[in-house]
Amino acid sequence: MKFIETAKNIWKIEDLRKRITITLLLVLVYRLGCYVVLPGINPSEIDALRNFASGGLMQLLDMFAGGAFSQASIFALGIMPYITASIVIQLLGMVLPSFQKMQREGESGRMKLNQYTRYLTVLILLLQGPAYLVNLQVQVNSPGGAAHFGFWTTAYLTVILAAGSMFIMWLGEKITDKGIGNGISFIILVGIIARFPGALVQEFTSRLTTAQGGLVMFLVEIVLLFAVIAGAILLVQGTRKVPVQYAKRIVGNKQYGGARQYIPLKVNAAGVMPIIFAQAIMFIPITLAGFGANQNAEGFFAGFARTFSDIHGFWYNVVYFIMIVAFTYFYTAITVRPTQMAEDMKRNNGFIPGIKPGKKTAEYLDSIMSRITFPGSIFLGFVAIMPAFANVCGVNQQFAQFFGGTSLLILVGVVLDTLQQIESHLMMHHYDGLMKSGKIKGRTTGSGY
């Protein structure tokens, strides 16, 4: 079989074998850490926390944390604070000249921005840590537990939570450097995949016992799930090709010879980044409200936090959809630069047939990107809110998260990226690739996730 032959070829490449082994070991460390409970917390008293994290926005946050949130683990805050900090730094790069200068300084500028991102991550963790502990104390004490965190206990547990998240960030960076790449995204992927078997079994059991439809409905859901996955793959890989003619020599104003090539402009050039951006912002209200500790609190802000904690609610999904569309345009604008593309073509004696080189080419490329980004952003937003429709149709909340949304798009995007990296190693060593075409198109947004 081709799969077995490909697996043998992967194992023959020493560098690739080493990278995969390192990645698996680092992932194992991460998964073990997700079950290390905070000191002073009785594991038998956190059932209320698990129930609390089994629905709404907390369920999604627990998925990103690989189940560590509901386990009161040292990794409970997960990797989202780092992603939030990265978003803030990228936004600052759009408005502050000093940050724009660092972005243009190449490797040295990137290292400075990474350092600022780490500092901001620590600051966010120091704010989120006490909020998580307040919620943890409420959830443990509600069924009659005994968790009382004084000032110093809160302080050292916050340090432990912050250190846990920073350690996850370090694991992600090591997977990027020593493993198969895309470490932060891979960490998120592992957390999502860890929840899938349990969600699948729970949905299967529910259909056979309490829910309507039985086994037939469960099979229909599986078929629909594969259809959504296929749509997500098309969204990640879809491109429009722009023809570019390259001249070998120029005499006067005429160009002779040369070959025609194509610029593949992606329908969704931003990949899954708009989803991650929007989701990180949607976590802010619940974080400021102490991770939902005061569910019965009154007032505008408490009601606002409750409204935006319901991931299947109307207003949550409307705002989420709008933010995804807006962030798709934003991230496409900072990753795809028509002016630079036009300058590169002009420098290499290239031109788009019928379009003047220089400014006219940049305007043409910009107009094409605007036209193809709109349907891409709408489709991305629609896929992101599909779990709400699945839940309305009677699908279990945990299983509904895989009918689109952040989890599915991250899963598809990261898997394609990982396969692309393995494919490049195989092709470089003259082995057959993973696909007959020899090409797997992943996300080429240049993101660090």
Bigger pLDDT: 289 vs 344: 344
pLDDT tens sequence across 142-183: 666 566 778 888 898 999 999 999 999 999 889 888 888 778
Q: Tell me which of 9-23, 218-232, 395-409 is least confident.
A: 395-409
Greatest pairwise CA separation for the chain in angstroms? 88
Question: What does the pLDDT read at residue 334?
Answer: 76
pLDDT tens sequence across 33-49: 888 888 888 777 777 77
Provide the 10 A C-beta neighbour count for residue 291.
Answer: 28
Question: What does the pLDDT read at residue 168?
Answer: 92
Question: What does the pLDDT read at residue 167?
Answer: 93
Whether residue 58 has pLDDT greater than 80: no
Mean pLDDT of 88-115: 81
Q: How far apart are CA 140 and CA 422, in angstroms?
A: 45
E strands within 383-445?
none
Whether residue 97 has pLDDT greater than 60: yes
Bigger pLDDT: 30 vs 6: 30
Confidence at 444, pLDDT banded by 50, 70, 90: very low
Whether residue 309 contacts residue 285, with contact meaning beta carbons closer than 8 Å, is answered with: yes
Own/partner pairs, 442-447, CB within 8 angstroms, 24+ separation: 442/236, 442/413, 442/416, 442/417, 442/418, 443/236, 443/271, 443/272, 443/413, 443/416, 443/417, 444/266, 445/269, 445/270, 445/271, 445/273, 445/331, 445/335, 446/335, 447/271, 447/273, 447/335
Mean pLDDT of 274-292: 70
Q: What percent of the chain has pLDDT over 90?
A: 6
Q: How far apart are CA 101 and CA 93, in angstroms?
A: 8
Residue 350 — φ and ψ, nearest 5°?
-110, 155
Whether residue 269 has pLDDT greater than 80: no
Give domain limits for the chain: 2-428
pLDDT tens sequence across 207-252: 777 766 678 888 888 888 888 888 777 777 777 677 776 665 544 4
Q: How far apart are CA 73 and CA 49, in angstroms?
A: 12
Q: How far apart are CA 133 and CA 140, in angstroms?
A: 10
pTM: 0.74
pLDDT tens sequence across 180-193: 877 888 888 888 88
Provide the 10 A C-beta neighbour count for residue 37.
Answer: 15
Question: What does the pLDDT read at residue 448?
Answer: 46
Confidence at 446, pLDDT banded by 50, 70, 90: very low
Mean pLDDT of the chain: 77
Question: What does the pLDDT read at residue 316?
Answer: 83
Question: What does the pLDDT read at residue 299?
Answer: 55
Confidence at 25, pLDDT banded by 50, 70, 90: very high
> Angle 200-203-209 (CA atoms, 0-180°, nearest 5)?
140
pLDDT tens sequence across 296-311: 555 555 666 667 777 7
Question: What does the pLDDT read at residue 123?
Answer: 92
CATH of 2-428, one of 1.10.3370.10, 3.40.190.10, 2.60.40.420, 3.40.50.1370: 1.10.3370.10
